[in-house]
Structure 1
Amino acid sequence: MKEFKLFTFLFCIILTQLSYAQVLLDADGSGGVDTYDLINSVFAPGYDAVEEPDCSHTPTFQHIDELFDATLGINVFRFYLHVATDTDRCNGSTDRQRNEIKTYDKSPDNLKGVEGETVIYKWKFKLDAGFQVSPNFTHIHQLKSVGGLYSSMPMYTLTCRKSTPDRIELRYAETNSQTTLIQTDLAPFKGEWVEATETIKYGTNSSPDAGTYSIELKRVSDQSILLTYTDNATKNWQIDAEFVRPKWGIYRSLNNAQDLRDEEVLFANFSVEESSTLNIEEINRHGIILYPNPTSDDLFIKNLDKIEFDNIAIHDITGKQVLKQEALGNSIIVTSKLKSGIYFINFNNNNLPTFTSKFVKN
């Protein structure tokens, strides 16, 4: 445990040195209306980042509270929805209901994804062992544009759906219609804490500004990967959008309410990290050449001798160091043993990061 805490501390220092803008939201055990205040203090200080149907109840019911979770050993957030009484944010809608937290236009800038930026979203969630879904949607996470032509349609959605067997789906929309990118059996998720890591570069699908996207859902108890998906060249920026925001919670259709029950989902350890990865112009300005990117085999780096570096370290999207080697004038990074995905390459001086870039392993 001491070693883990030391690694976490050192990694936080590394992120700071790399000019990562990281925002954390953790439950503190306060509960009740104080939970809303806690969420707002992080996601939208002075405003309201909670979309809840509290007014549906007499007396008013708090739809997000906190409890101590013995498995994780920390306080966590508990999101409730009731089939018979809850609406969509108290607006009277009867065909759907939601209880979500979000970032939005009142949030700090480092919680808004903008074009050309790479953002890493992390969180944990636990579906109840008896979790029920309908043939319609039960969303637990979305990335959604604000402004533009398609602001009503989330770009990426994690949703659960009744089927044979019940499934969890990752859905994507470039414009105003969604497609399913990947789906898998919902059963292994039930009653288990799952850690999510989602990395997105907000960009178009034209080189060199292609958007990239990856997500990994990993069971906490045994580190088994339950769902993984990567796209190294896609469109992650909708026309005339102002920014993109994340949402978490329960948002479900009531069109088949007979399939549903009063439901709860647990969430913990929300993290939003904006990566200050070196763009192509900055790399060229330093005279460093990094190619090919994406790569299927080796990654070549030229002209490192133009800036003083001790070593090169490679981290995956979770922050784990997977490779480290001496920085020479011309270096070769052997990536054959790396899994497909997005990696960050740190150019270190005196073992501290001087700057970082990003590459994709096919």
Structure 2
Amino acid sequence: MDRVTSFDRRRALGLGAGVLGGLAAGTGTARAATRTQPVAGRQPAAAWMLWWSPNPATDGLNAFEGLEDDRADSHPGVRHIYVSGESYRFDMHTVDRDGSDRQRNESKGMRSGSTVHKIGKDQTWRITYQAFWPSSLTATTKFTHIFQMKVPDVGGPLWTLTPRQKSRPTLTVLTLRDNDANTEHVLADYTPLQNKWLDIEWEFKASNSGGYLRWVIRNGSTTVVDNRTTSVDLWRDVNYLRPKWGIYRSIESSGLQNTYQLIRNYRAYQLV
């Protein structure tokens, strides 16, 4: 179904406001709540519209716009991205290569059937999921990105989620400012966040100016971090934005191990 047509039909039925939080876990099925009728002459309040909630059992890897799984064929015959139970699993081995000095096994973008969900200029989105990072997914002195927001085929990421080895293992967000310099935001100690399921949330407005990025990490009922920045450039005047998940790391750090990342319960909402 065409995405715009689908949205227009939902809006006509008055279902757009009730999708947030209205999902049965793992089913990929939205439960819409009723919406009060707008007052004459007043615009209806903005609401979060759910566009993407893939079910690994039925959507499989078609949940993504594409995969970057050992593009150099450095580990022949081995799949690095696949469905594992109710999760998507991203494997990385020390022998894997994506160029001479780095490794990359990532999914990119969001797909529902034949529709690719593209994040456009000045749009506001919220992307949520649950992540599991084992002890073997170590913080490194060079880059190890476990999430990226990028413009296809244009430069580096607009922001990343990155475990970094400083005086201790630390989880950071790296954002790109208007002058193309990076800002590092230290979120929390990384080790206590490993070997458990965490809730991750990104909320952002994709704008050159007036944009913002909010990040939230929860460990069960405990909020580990909930912060935001406006010191970030969230648009390039070409193409569209798309998220990437997996492992993308430099080989120029010591202590690299065979490892993986698990992700489940993907959701993507747009403020409409």
Q: Name the TM tier (shorter chain).
A: 0.7 to 0.9
Q: Provide, for residues 73-93 of structure 1, a one-character-per-residue CA deviation record: whole Å limited to 9, x for no partner.
A: xx112211111x2111xxxx1
Structure 2 equivalent of residue 296 of structure 1 = none
User: What TM-score results when the alignment is normalised by the length of structure 1?
Assistant: 0.58
Q: Would the alpha carbon gap of residues 94 and 20 (structure 1) be closer, same or farther in structure 2, given more than 3 Å must change? A: same
Specify which of 240, 248, 252 is matched with residue 251 of structure 1: 248
Specify which of 169, 172, 195 is matched with residue 169 of structure 1: 172
Structure 1 equivalent of residue 74 of structure 2 = 56
Shift of 1:163: 2.0
The answer on 1:66 being equivalent to 2:70 is no
In 2, the alpha carbon distance for the partners of 1:139 and 1:250 equals 6
- Whether the 8 Å CA contact 1:194–1:217 is kept in 2: the answer is yes
Q: Would the alpha carbon gap of residues 19 and 192 (structure 1) be closer, same or farther in structure 2, given more than 3 Å must change? A: closer
Q: Would the alpha carbon gap of residues 253 and 13 (structure 1) be closer, same or farther in structure 2, given more than 3 Å must change? A: same
Shift of 1:97: 0.3
Structure 2 equivalent of residue 226 of structure 1 = 224
In 1, the alpha carbon distance for the partners of 2:214 and 2:84 equals 31
Amino acid corresponding to residue 166 of structure 2 in structure 1: S
Larger relative contact order (CA 8 Å, sep ≥ 6): 2
Shift of 1:244: 0.9
- Whether the 8 Å CA contact 1:130–1:190 is kept in 2: the answer is no
Amino acid corresponding to residue 89 of structure 2 in structure 1: R
- Whether the 8 Å CA contact 2:135–2:194 is kept in 1: the answer is yes
1:316-327 equivalences under 5 Å are none
> For structure 1, which runs of at least 5 residues remain unmatched after alignment?
1-5, 31-36, 69-74, 277-362
User: What TM-score results when the alignment is normalised by the length of structure 2?
Assistant: 0.76
Structure 1 equivalent of residue 205 of structure 2 = 201
Structure 2 equivalent of residue 13 of structure 1 = 32
Deviates most, 122-131 or 7-16: 7-16
The answer on 1:154 being equivalent to 2:154 is no
Amino acid corresponding to residue 218 of structure 1 in structure 2: R
Structure 2 equivalent of residue 98 of structure 1 = 104
Structure 2 equivalent of residue 38 of structure 1 = 60
Shift of 1:109: 6.6
- Whether the 8 Å CA contact 1:43–1:111 is kept in 2: the answer is no
Equivalenced residue count is 235
Structure 1 equivalent of residue 6 of structure 2 = none
Q: Provide, for residues 113-172 of structure 1, a one-character-per-residue CA deviation record: whole Å limited to 9, x for no partner.
A: 11121111111110113432320111010111236xxx2121111011122210110110
Shift of 1:21: 4.6
In 2, the alpha carbon distance for the partners of 1:259 and 1:19 equals 42
Q: Provide, for residues 324-362 of structure 1, a one-character-per-residue CA deviation record: whole Å limited to 9, x for no partner.
A: xxxxxxxxxxxxxxxxxxxxxxxxxxxxxxxxxxxxxxx
> For structure 2, which runs of at least 5 residues remain unmatched after alignment?
1-20, 37-46
- Whether the 8 Å CA contact 1:24–1:270 is kept in 2: the answer is yes
- Whether the 8 Å CA contact 2:109–2:243 is kept in 1: the answer is yes
The answer on 1:183 being equivalent to 2:187 is yes
SS of the residue aligned with 2:166?
coil
The answer on 1:87 being equivalent to 2:97 is yes
Structure 1 equivalent of residue 216 of structure 2 = 216
SS of the residue aligned with 1:154?
strand
Q: Provide, for residues 310-331 of structure 1, a one-character-per-residue CA deviation record: whole Å limited to 9, x for no partner.
A: xxxxxxxxxxxxxxxxxxxxxx
1:318-357 equivalences under 5 Å are none
Shift of 1:179: 1.5
Specify which of 15, 18, 26 is matched with residue 55 of structure 2: 26
SS of the residue aligned with 2:60?
helix
SS of the residue aligned with 1:188?
helix
In 2, the alpha carbon distance for the partners of 1:82 and 1:214 equals 32
What is the RMSD of the two structures over their aligned residues, measured on CA atoms?
Answer: 2.9
In 2, the alpha carbon distance for the partners of 1:120 and 1:141 equals 14
In 1, the alpha carbon distance for the partners of 2:232 and 2:102 equals 31
More helix by proportion, 1 or 2? 1
Structure 2 equivalent of residue 271 of structure 1 = 267
Which is greater in Rg? 1
- Whether the 8 Å CA contact 1:202–1:236 is kept in 2: the answer is yes
- Whether the 8 Å CA contact 1:188–1:226 is kept in 2: the answer is no
Structure 2 equivalent of residue 236 of structure 1 = 234
- Whether the 8 Å CA contact 2:93–2:258 is kept in 1: the answer is yes
- Whether the 8 Å CA contact 2:176–2:233 is kept in 1: the answer is no
